[in-house]
C-alpha cells in the first residue's frame, strides 16, 4: 500500500522527463526534424506494441533483445467468429439445448424479435425496413446467438446450428411464411483464438518495415525515406544511459531495388546526414566506426568458419560468451568482457570473407565518405546485436567512461545502424533493401549536458545555442520574456489582462500573485523571466509601468502601449 512516507514511484528503469530538461529534448528533436526534412525524410509513427512474432522474425530469436529483454504479454482470448461459422456450416453434433429468453435485435435494416423456448428459437416478429435477404437474416440470428453465447460464457453449449424448415426459403417473406421454428444443435469445439502474444517494441526498424509491407509502400516505386521519434522498451539492467523505456530518433531508407535502395550511395548519405546532425546539435568528439558483415551468403560462410575457430577456445571464454558461441557466435565478436578480448582478437575477421560485390559495396561507401570528409574508423568486430543486418554496420560513439565529456559511463554508443537487405523478405514482404539507424536520445541528451558542463565546454556552442533564443546556458531553460508582478490582490485581474495582451502578440509571460511581497516577486521573476513588470496602483492609474531588466539590473518606466515592443528587445 502506498503511504505518504512510501509513495508510488516510476517503475525501475523508467523516468520522468521534466522542464527544463524537456526544453532541450524538444530542441534536439526539432533540429533532427529540420535535418531530416532537408534530406527528404517524412515522419512515420508505428504502434508502440506489435505482434511478438514481428520481433522474433525480424530482430532474431537468439538475440539478447528477443531472448531476454522484451516486454511481452498474452493478450486476452478473442472469440473467433469464423471458426464458429465454419463449424456451424459443417454441422457438427446434434444435441438440442435449452434456452429460455426473449430478445429483440435492432438492426439498421430490420428488427427481429426472437423467442427462445425449450430447444427452439422462434421468430416472433420480423419487421423489415428494407428488403432483406435470407442470408442477412440468418447472419443476424447467428450474430445474436454468438453474442448471447459470449455474454453467458457458455460458448460450446450454446453455439447452435440454424436449421430452417425449408432450404428453399430465399427471402424473408418465405422465411416467415414457413413457420419459422428453428432447431438448435450444440456444436462442441473451441471457438476462441488462442490469445495473441504482444510485445512493447524494443526497436522500431521491424515496425517500419512491417508498415512498408502492409501499406505496399514499395509499389510507389521510389525510395522511402522515413524517420521516427519515440519510446522503445527493453528489460535491461538499468544504469546511467541505459533505461527500460528509452527514446530513439531513427530513420530508415528502403525501397525496391529499382529505386536505388541497394546503392552504397544511400549508406554514405545516411552516414553523412548523421555527421551533419551531430555537428548541428553541437556534439563534440564523436567517432564513427564502420564494418561490413557481408551478404547473407557471406555471413553463412563466415559463421561456419567462426564456429570452427570458436570450438577449441570456447571453454576459455566467460559463460555469456560460451552461450553466445553456441546460439549466436557473431555476438562473441562485440563482447565487452575484458578477459575475453585477447582471445576474440585471434578470431577470423568477417572482412576477409566478403564476396566481391560486398567488398566493392563497402569500398564505395568508404570512398563516398572520404569525398564528403566524414571521418571514420573501421572496426572489424562491429557486428551489432540484431540479426537483420547485412553489409554496412556502424555505430557513433563519444569518448567513454572516465572522460567528463561523455556523460554516458560505459554506455558510449550514441547511435547504431546498418543495412538490412533481407528484412522485408524475412517479414513476408517483397524485396526491399534498406539502411537505417537509431540514435539513443537519452544518451544524446546526457552527452550534450555533460559536454556543456565539462571544462572548456560551452553548452551546444554551435547551432543548438545559436538557434535557441535566450536559452539559459546552465539549465538549458528557455527564459520567459516577462514576469508581471501585481502589487496587491486587487491588481490580479489587471495583471492577467496585461498578460493576455502580451501573450496575444507572441510574448511569453508569467503572472505573479498580488499577495506576494515585492521581494518574493523579484526572486520568482529572476528565476523564470528576463524582465519583471511591476503593476501597482500608480502604474494602473498612469498607464506607465515599471520594468526591470535582470541581465543589466536596469529599471525603467515604460508606457503600456510601448511595453510589448520593449520586452522584445
Q: Which is nearer to ligand HAM, 414 or 529 (CB)?
A: 414
Instruction: For residue 289, state whether it binds ligand HAM (rule: CB under 6 A).
Output: no
Q: Which set of grid coordinates corresponds to residue 479?
A: 527564459
CA R_g for the chain:
33
Minimum CB–partner distance for residue 436 and ligand HAM (Å): 3
Tell me if 443 contacts ligand HAM by CB under 6 A. yes
In the set 46, 140, 248, 259, which binds ligand HAM (CB under 6 A)? 248
254 in contact with ligand HAM (CB under 6 A) = no
Share of the chain residues as helix, strand and coil, in percent rounded to the nearest 5? 40, 25, 35
Residue 250 touching ligand HAM (CB under 6 A): yes
**Least distance in angstroms from the C-beta of 325 to ligand HAM:** 21
Return phi, psi of residue 456, to 5°. Answer: 80, -10
Q: How far is the CB of 311 from ligand HAM (least distance, A)?
A: 28
- The answer to whether the CB of 223 falls within 8 A of the CB of 39 is no
Which residue matches cell numbers 414457413? 178
Please report, for residues 114, 121, 124, the alpha-carbon distance to residue 128 in angstroms, rounded to integers and kept in the order given.
14, 19, 13
Binding status of residue 243 toward ligand HAM by CB under 6 A: yes
Q: Is 375 helix (H, G, I), strand (E, B) or coil?
A: coil
CA distance 564 to 498: 10
Check binding of 298 to ligand HAM (CB under 6 A).
no
Helix and strand numbers (H, E) in the chain are 21, 22
- As measured in angstroms, the least distance from the Cβ of 182 to ligand HAM is 56
Q: Is 440 a residue that touches ligand HAM (CB under 6 A)?
A: yes
Distance, CA of 270 to CA of 29 (rounded, Å): 17
Q: Select the residue interacting with ligand HAM from 294, 417, 460, 486 (CB under 6 A).
A: 417
Specify which residues 230 forms β-bridges with: 248
Element (H, E) at 394: strand 390-397
Among 413, 427, 534, 567, the residue binding ligand HAM under the rule CB under 6 A is 413
Q: Which residue is nearest to ligand HAM (CB)?
A: 440
* DSSP run (H or E) holding 253: strand 245-254
The reply to whether 438 sits near ligand HAM by the rule CB under 6 A is yes
Q: How far is the CB of 407 from ligand HAM (least distance, A)?
A: 12
What Å distances lie between residue 121 and 158, 180, 353, 384, 432, CA to CA?
A: 12, 8, 73, 63, 55
Q: Binder to ligand HAM among 234, 284, 381, 479 (CB under 6 A)?
A: 234
One residue of 282, 294, 329, 416 binding ligand HAM per CB under 6 A: 416
Contact 400, 363 (CB under 8 A): no
- Candidates 24-32, 118-126, 132-140, 247-255; binding stretch for ligand HAM (CB under 6 A): 247-255
| Contact residue for ligand HAM among 88, 437, 516, 522 (CB under 6 A) | 437
Q: For binding to ligand HAM (CB under 6 A), which residues are involved?
A: 203-205, 234, 236, 242-243, 246, 248, 250, 252, 385-386, 413-418, 436-438, 440, 442-443
Amino acid at each position: 500500500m502506498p503511504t505518504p512516507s512510501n509513495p508510488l514511484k516510476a517503475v525501475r528503469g523508467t523516468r520522468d522527463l521534466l522542464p527544463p530538461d524537456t526544453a532541450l529534448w524538444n530542441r534536439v528533436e526539432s533540429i533532427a526534424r529540420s535535418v531530416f526534412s532537408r534530406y527528404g525524410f517524412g515522419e512515420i509513427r508505428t504502434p508502440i506494441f506489435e505482434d511478438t512474432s514481428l520481433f522474433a522474425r525480424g530482430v532474431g530469436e537468439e538475440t539478447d533483445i528477443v531472448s531476454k529483454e522484451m516486454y511481452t504479454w498474452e493478450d486476452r482470448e478473442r472469440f473467433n467468429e469464423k471458426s464458429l461459422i465454419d463449424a456451424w456450416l459443417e454441422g457438427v453434433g446434434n444435441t438440442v439445448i435449452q434456452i429460455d429468453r426473449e430478445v429483440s435485435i435492432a438492426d439498421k435494416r430490420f428488427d427481429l424479435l426472437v423467442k427462445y423456448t425449450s430447444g427452439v428459437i422462434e421468430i416472433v416478429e420480423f419487421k423489415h425496413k428494407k428488403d432483406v435477404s435470407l442470408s442477412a437474416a440468418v447472419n443476424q440470428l447467428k450474430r445474436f446467438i454468438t453474442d448471447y453465447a459470449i455474454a453467458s460464457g457458455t460458448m460450446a453449449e450454446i453455439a447452435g446450428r440454424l436449421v430452417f424448415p425449408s432450404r428453399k426459403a430465399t427471402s424473408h417473406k418465405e422465411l416467415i411464411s414457413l413457420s419459422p421454428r428453428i432447431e438448435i444443435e450444440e456444436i462442441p469445439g473451441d471457438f476462441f483464438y488462442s490469445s495473441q502474444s504482444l510485445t512493447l517494441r524494443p526497436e522500431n526498424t521491424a515496425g517500419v518495415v512491417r508498415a512498408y509491407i502492409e501499406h505496399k509502400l514499395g509499389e510507389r516505386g521510389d525510395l522511402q525515406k522515413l524517420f521516427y521519434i519515440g519510446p522503445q522498451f527493453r528489460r535491461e539492467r538499468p544504469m546511467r544511459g541505459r533505461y527500460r523505456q528509452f527514446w530513439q530518433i531513427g530513420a530508415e531508407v528502403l525501397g525496391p531495388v529499382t529505386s536505388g535502395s541497394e546503392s552504397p550511395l544511400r549508406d554514405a548519405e545516411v552516414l553523412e546526414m548523421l555527421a551533419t546532425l551531430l555537428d548541428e546539435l553541437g556534439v563534440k568528439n564523436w567517432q564513427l566506426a564502420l564494418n561490413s558483415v557481408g551478404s547473407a551468403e557471406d555471413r553463412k560462410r563466415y559463421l561456419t568458419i567462426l564456429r570452427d575457430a570458436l570450438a577449441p577456445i570456447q571453454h576459455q571464454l566467460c559463460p555469456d560468451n560460451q552461450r553466445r558461441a553456441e546460439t549466436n557466435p557473431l555476438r562473441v565478436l562485440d563482447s565487452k568482457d575484458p578477459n575475453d578480448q585477447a582471445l576474440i582478437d585471434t578470431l577470423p575477421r568477417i572482412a576477409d570473407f566478403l564476396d566481391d560485390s560486398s567488398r566493392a559495396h563497402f569500398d564505395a561507401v568508404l570512398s563516398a565518405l572520404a569525398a564528403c570528409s566524414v571521418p571514420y574508423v573501421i572496426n572489424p568486430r562491429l557486428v551489432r546485436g540484431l540479426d537483420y543486418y547485412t553489409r554496412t554496420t556502424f555505430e557513433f560513439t563519444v569518448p567513454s567512461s572516465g572522460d567528463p565529456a561523455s556523460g554516458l559511463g560505459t554506455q558510449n554508443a550514441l547511435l547504431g545502424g546498418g543495412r538490412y537487405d533481407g528484412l522485408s523478405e524475412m517479414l513476408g514482404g517483397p524485396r526491399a533493401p534498406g539502411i537505417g539507424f537509431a540514435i539513443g536520445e537519452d544518451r544524446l541528451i546526457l552527452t550534450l549536458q555533460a559536454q556543456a558542463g565539462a571544462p572548456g565546454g560551452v553548452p551546444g556552442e554551435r547551432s543548438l545555442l545559436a538557434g535557441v533564443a535566450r536559452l539559459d546556458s546552465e539549465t538549458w531553460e528557455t527564459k520567459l520574456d516577462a514576469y508581471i508582478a501585481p502589487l496587491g490582490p486587487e491588481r490580479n485581474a489587471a495583471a492577467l489582462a496585461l498578460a493576455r495582451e502580451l501573450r496575444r502578440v507572441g510574448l511569453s509571460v508569467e503572472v505573479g500573485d498580488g499577495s506576494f511581497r515585492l521581494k518574493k516577486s523579484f526572486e520568482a521573476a529572476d528565476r523564470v523571466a528576463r524582465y519583471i513588470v511591476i503593476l501597482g496602483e500608480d502604474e494602473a492609474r498612469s498607464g506607465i509601468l515599471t520594468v526591470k531588466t535582470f541581465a543589466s539590473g536596469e529599471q525603467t518606466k515604460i508606457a503600456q502601449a510601448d511595453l510589448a515592443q520593449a520586452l522584445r528587445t
